Amino acid sequence: MADPRFFVRSGPFALGALAERVGARLAEGVDPARMVVDVAPLDRAGPGDISFVDNPKYLEALATTKAGAVILSERHAARAPLGSARMLSAAPYLAYARIAQAFYPAPRPEPGISAGAHVDPSARLGEGAAVAAGAVIERGVEIGPRCVIGAGATLAPEVRLGADCRIGAGVHLAYCLIGDRVTIHQGTCVGQDGFGFAPDPKGHVKVPQLGRVLIGDDCEIGANVTIDRGAGPDTEIGAGSWIDNLVQIGHNVRLGRGCILIAQSGIAGSTVLGDFAVVAAQAGLTGHLRIGAGAQIAGQAGVMRDVPPGAKMGGSPAVPIRDWHRQTLALEKLAKGRQEEDP
Amino acid sequence: MADPRFFVRSGPFALGALAERVGARLAEGVDPARMVVDVAPLDRAGPGDISFVDNPKYLEALATTKAGAVILSERHAARAPLGSARMLSAAPYLAYARIAQAFYPAPRPEPGISAGAHVDPSARLGEGAAVAAGAVIERGVEIGPRCVIGAGATLAPEVRLGADCRIGAGVHLAYCLIGDRVTIHQGTCVGQDGFGFAPDPKGHVKVPQLGRVLIGDDCEIGANVTIDRGAGPDTEIGAGSWIDNLVQIGHNVRLGRGCILIAQSGIAGSTVLGDFAVVAAQAGLTGHLRIGAGAQIAGQAGVMRDVPPGAKMGGSPAVPIRDWHRQTLALEKLAKGRQEEDP
Amino acid sequence: MADPRFFVRSGPFALGALAERVGARLAEGVDPARMVVDVAPLDRAGPGDISFVDNPKYLEALATTKAGAVILSERHAARAPLGSARMLSAAPYLAYARIAQAFYPAPRPEPGISAGAHVDPSARLGEGAAVAAGAVIERGVEIGPRCVIGAGATLAPEVRLGADCRIGAGVHLAYCLIGDRVTIHQGTCVGQDGFGFAPDPKGHVKVPQLGRVLIGDDCEIGANVTIDRGAGPDTEIGAGSWIDNLVQIGHNVRLGRGCILIAQSGIAGSTVLGDFAVVAAQAGLTGHLRIGAGAQIAGQAGVMRDVPPGAKMGGSPAVPIRDWHRQTLALEKLAKGRQEEDP
């Protein structure tokens, strides 16, 4: 179970209620009143725990689990041991995620402004919002109901947050308008000047950055991320996008809905990503590109051209991922051939 | 126009005054008393706005712009529509940058120490300097006139700032001497220990890092950048250098004047860059290299050898950029050949 | 010598006492009572300074040094000039590191809680601990004796620090248990949610991250690093590991003892590194890998498969480093051949 110093567990819950909550159903014969007290992975779960299996490579672990209940798809149902109550779902991991959220809801600090916070009198806080010690809320800021502002976070003048946002410790927000239910983790910086200047040997001259950052509802943004504000147009993060740690987003970038950007990837200025595009770790996209909806960019790829919707790209410079694998194999064979020639 | 909640516009300005201010001249017949009220891109500008064209690929947008005035070079002057007053400049983007600065000067908070700032009594602040809430100014710090210190920024003992610096929210400065007119954006860390230790299986032993960070005048440094202090010699950032977000600069690195380091690039310890060298995004330079003045390193390149002045390098390991392009093409052809052989 | 505004020097020390302190011995004829006042590199050292030579490429500098004393190995002893007292060590750089620490011990602020710090009454501080202005110590935190907490650092509820830790300015710690003598530099974030969600077109669903971050004794962690907490298991940093700036460590990652992770490298979730593994700058490791003890991953490598103990890997995708060099050469030759064919 999770360390109780850090995590407060809710429950127990009846299987029937959980199934209803997540849109799953119990297999025949399972008592909907049967209680579970915690979530756990298959190999560590006990009779009071609910677990799940989604990836077939865990079917072996399923066979020997001691979990009191298991969420799984119909086609795997027969593989569960007799002692485990089966909860059937077309998307077991999704159902598990929601059940884990029921057991471990995000902690909610006492509403109100901590004694050590610095809040400008012109700022407006929604009902139930909480501001931790050391946070700085500047002139004209608007914070929606039930938002949580972490220790040492700073909100520059006129920043807007919707409802139920969670702003981590040491997050720095400026020139931005943020939707509802947005989570931003520790140390992330939003809204600083984009990297815009007119190069000149007598001294590069800054071009004022006159846009904002717009972040849609339900986004999750990691730690020590940087999102520059637009140069004139805005930088936009589409609703439901997930951004991992240490990602760089340049000015005027536009992400569609549900995009996924994995750690240390970077998107240069004015590039546009369609809905549900995925950029894997340490990949880089140059500026002014159009990346189609659902495109997938492999880790460490270097994308320098537009990418059609749904395409998978890899390598640096990036090519369709099959071509990249072919290149990798061809180079391996070439090098081996040479090795035989010149030992 | 820029969101007035975030941006305060100056002006209007007469075209004649603006031309004089930026070293441009008005075309024949343009009334120097004609006023403009804002800057805007060609496609969104109206009769009150001034715009610019520099890159020939925007000549089409020029033909149909409704901008009241356009900055452009003599050779493009005939392409402007009749309604747009022409301001002639050999460097239109540079002129535009300066005019945009006139309309949108950097905001200047009220001078003085905010109630929520923590300033050691031994620190000295120049006239007109402003320190925001939550900032911490430690023993012996000297801050020049008109500097702006953001919310939650921390200046460790004895740090020096020249005049007119702008230190963003949550910037952490230690062991550094900073010139005039330096801007550092949110979350950047300057002056922590370099990565220096004597490896030992019984426990790596730290080598005290006894140098400083020296930052020249007119530098611009992005968000969440890291600049380590020197190990004995200093780490030096030459005057007028521009550093983008999430860049890493190791101990003893020396940048010449006007260097440009783009997002997520990294320079390992003791490497020296000549004046106006450019390192593109996600490129890495190993330690103890000499990179000549004006050299250009492509995105994601991995530089492991000295680079002569003016050279352009790409690839990992990096080679002259033409060779890199040749390698890329050769590998593509090789993979296609193989594909035909082994379908 | 180091800038006395920033560095306070101890000493002078007698050579005999220093040799004893670091397990070295003085060459025949050296007076153990001879004093030295500072450390310096060979080419800048004067008669009062002690220097060292380890890498043979500095033997030339040794020949002409004016250092009063030099630490070096027996086989190089004859190369030192007559005026320099020789201190013999099998590991000169290690001995130098310890002597430099004697001259420049890490600065120790006055113990106690600064007036501008925010410390929850339930937090417990060990004897001699110091908390700087702007730091926020939340409910239930335990800080060991002689720890130093920097300006603006934030420690979330229930965080534990052992003895003699140094937490830099603006470090953000949550959900973590930290050993003794751990140093964390400015801006680093520990313990935020790992990147865990069930993807869904109707909105990705967060999987609660129920693990912690465990950091062993004697670790050194750079600036603006991100270390996510575990998803259920913990994220673990083995004792004596050194992590450079801007490194990303995903959830459930386990580092063995003495690992070295260089700047901007990244380790994806659930990957395990054996003792003393080294990951060079900008390298990336995908998730769920096993990297053997003592393995070395080259800069910018992209590791997608398990790596055996002691192996050296390079390239993206990574291969044994010799194969990578062969591939690099083969590609160079191929491109040159093509160039001759199609000029």
The verdict on whether omega for the bond into residue B32 sits within 30 degrees of 0, i.e. cis, is no
Point out the domain boundary residue: A103, A138, A153: A103
Q: Is A327 close to B334, i.e. CB distance below 8 A?
A: yes
Whether B83 and B195 share a structural domain: no
Q: Does A63 touch chain B (CB under 8 A)?
A: no
Q: Residue-wise over B109-125: b if at least 16 C-beta within 10 A, else e?
A: eebebbebbbbbeebeb
- Distance of alpha carbon C296 from alpha carbon A314, whole angstroms: 24
pLDDT tens-digit map of B98-111: 999 999 999 999 99
Domain membership of residue A338 (yes or no) is: no
Whether A182 and A304 share a structural domain: yes
**C213/B341: higher pLDDT:** C213
Catalytic residue flag (residue A288): no
Looking up tokens 């795997």, which residue turns up? A76
Domain membership of residue A41 (yes or no) is: yes
The CA distance from A262 to the nearest CA of chain B, in Å, is: 14
State residue C341's pLDDT score. 60
Taking contacts as CB-CB distances below 8 angstroms, the residues of chain B near C103 are: 208
> Which one of A136, A195, A224 has the shortest CB-CB distance to B222?
A195
The CA distance from C93 to the nearest CA of chain B, in Å, is: 6
Is A325:A332 a contact under the CB 8 Å cutoff?
no
Domain membership of residue C242 (yes or no) is: yes
Concatenating the DSSP letter of every residue in A98-116 gives: HHHHHHSPPP-PPSEE-TT
B 292-321 residues inside an 8 A Cβ radius of A: 299-300, 316
* φ, ψ at A286 (rounded to 5°): -75, 180
Concatenating the DSSP letter of every residue in C110-165 gives: PSEE-TT-EE-TT-EE-TT-EE-TT-EE-TT-EE-TT-EE-TT-EE-TT-EE-TT-
The CA distance from C208 to the nearest CA of chain A, in Å, is: 6
Per DSSP, helices labelled H in chain C are 15-22, 59-63, 92-103, 321-341
Q: Does B236 touch chain C (CB under 8 A)?
A: no
The CA distance from B201 to the nearest CA of chain A, in Å, is: 30
Structurally, chain C folds into a number of domains equal to 2
Q: Is C103 close to B136, i.e. CB distance below 8 A?
A: no
- Distance of alpha carbon A171 from alpha carbon A146, whole angstroms: 18
Burial class (CB in 10 A: 0-12, 13-18, 19+), B182: buried
Instruction: List strands edge to edge, sheet with C118-119.
Output: C118-119, C136-137, C154-155, C172-173, C189-190, C226-227, C248-249, C266-267, C284-285, C302-303
Is B159:B214 a contact under the CB 8 Å cutoff?
no
Whether A195 and A308 share a structural domain: yes
**Residue B168: is its pLDDT beyond 50?**
yes
Q: What is the extent of the structural domain holding B84?
A: 13-103
State residue A343's pLDDT score. 47
pLDDT tens-digit map of B131-143: 999 999 999 999 9
State residue C23's pLDDT score. 96
State residue A341's pLDDT score. 60
Q: What is the residue-averaged pLDDT of chain A?
A: 96
Q: Does C343 touch chain A (CB under 8 A)?
A: no
Select which of B185, B251, B288, B325 is catalytic. B251
pLDDT tens-digit map of C171-200: 999 999 999 999 999 999 999 999 999 998
Whether B294 and B183 share a structural domain: yes
Domain membership of residue A117 (yes or no) is: no
pLDDT tens-digit map of B191-201: 999 999 999 88
pLDDT tens-digit map of B77-91: 999 999 999 999 999
**Residue B339: is its pLDDT beyond 90?**
no
Point out the domain boundary residue: B88, B103, B118: B103
Domain membership of residue A161 (yes or no) is: no
Ranges of chain A whose pLDDT falls below 50: 343
Whether A180 and A315 share a structural domain: yes
Domain membership of residue B262 (yes or no) is: yes
Domain membership of residue B315 (yes or no) is: yes
Domain membership of residue A304 (yes or no) is: yes
Whether C85 and C182 share a structural domain: no
Whether B196 and B310 share a structural domain: yes
Return the residue of A nearest to C159 by Cα.
A6
Picking from B22, B241, B246, B275 by the largest number of A CB atoms within 10 A of its own CB, the best residue to mutate is B246
Domain with C187 in it: what CATH number?
A: 2.160.10.10
- Nearest Cα to A19, choosing from A3, A30, A5? A30
Whether A188 and A92 share a structural domain: no
Is A263:A278 a contact under the CB 8 Å cutoff?
no
Point out the domain boundary residue: B46, B73, B103: B103
Domain with B74 in it: what CATH number?
A: 3.40.1390.10
Q: Is C218 close to B203, i.e. CB distance below 8 A?
A: yes
Which residues, 6 or more positions from B343, have their beta carbon under 8 angstroms from its beta carbon? Answer: none
Whether B214 and B303 share a structural domain: yes
Whether C310 and C231 share a structural domain: yes
Confirm whether pTM is higher than 0.90.
yes
**Residue B235: is its pLDDT beyond 90?**
yes
Q: How many helices, marked H, and strands, marked E, lie in chain B?
A: 4, 40
Whether C219 and C309 share a structural domain: yes
> Which one of A116, A331, A337 has the shortest CB-CB distance to C136?
A116
Whether C197 and C59 share a structural domain: no
State residue A329's pLDDT score. 95
A 163-202 residues inside an 8 A Cβ radius of B: 170, 172, 174-175, 187-189, 192-193, 195, 197-201
